[in-house]
Every structure is written in C-alpha cells, then in structure tokens.
Amino acid sequence: MNLKIITPVKLVLEKEVDSVTMPGEAGQFTVMSGHDLLVAKLASGLLFVRWTDHEGKPQREDYEIAAGIAEIRRDTALVFTSTASCRLS
C-alpha cells in the first residue's frame, strides 16, 4: 500500500508499506492494502508505519502527528495533518 503523510508545507513521507496504525478520533485503527474506502478524523498522537525491507526483515517508523484527516483507498492511504515528524522507535 502506498502511504503519504502530507502537511501544508511538504510531503513528509511517501512509502510502500505493509500497514499503518493511526490515532483515530474514535480510537486507534490499522489499515492494510485492499482496505475498503474510509475517511476518518485523526487525533493528535503516534502513527505507526510497518513494512518489510528488501531482506525480508520487518521494519517500523513512528510519526508524531497533529489532528487531521485520513483517506483510505484500496492501495493508498493519505494522511493530511498540520504537522508530522518522525520519532525514533
């Protein structure tokens, strides 16, 4: 699934991922490739990105995000937020 984290200033991340766990306004949720269409309000918090590297090893990055909106399509997840920064996991 192609994940994009977008702020008004820049594209923070564009990456092919296995899954992304987001801080939804109604609670944390995870999406993977093939997910049905979804638009959700996001709360401020941590967003967890998981993927498998070229050696088959699982990888993870965490992003601190402000409240925003997520738009999920079958093979795309768009995260619109005012700020986002990578945290060491």
Confidence bin at 89 (pLDDT 50/70/90):
low
Q: Where are the domains of the chain?
A: 2-87
Mean pLDDT of the chain: 96
User: Mean per-residue pLDDT for 40-51?
Assistant: 98
How do 68-73 and 84-87 pair as beta strands? unpaired
Tokens 């993977």, located at residue? 32
User: Mean per-residue pLDDT for 78-83?
Assistant: 98
Using the predicted structure, report yes or no on whether residue 57 has a pLDDT greater than 80.
yes
Using the predicted structure, report yes or no on whether residue 81 has a pLDDT greater than 90.
yes
pLDDT at 88: 72
pTM of the model: 0.93
Top-tier CATH class for 2-87: mainly beta
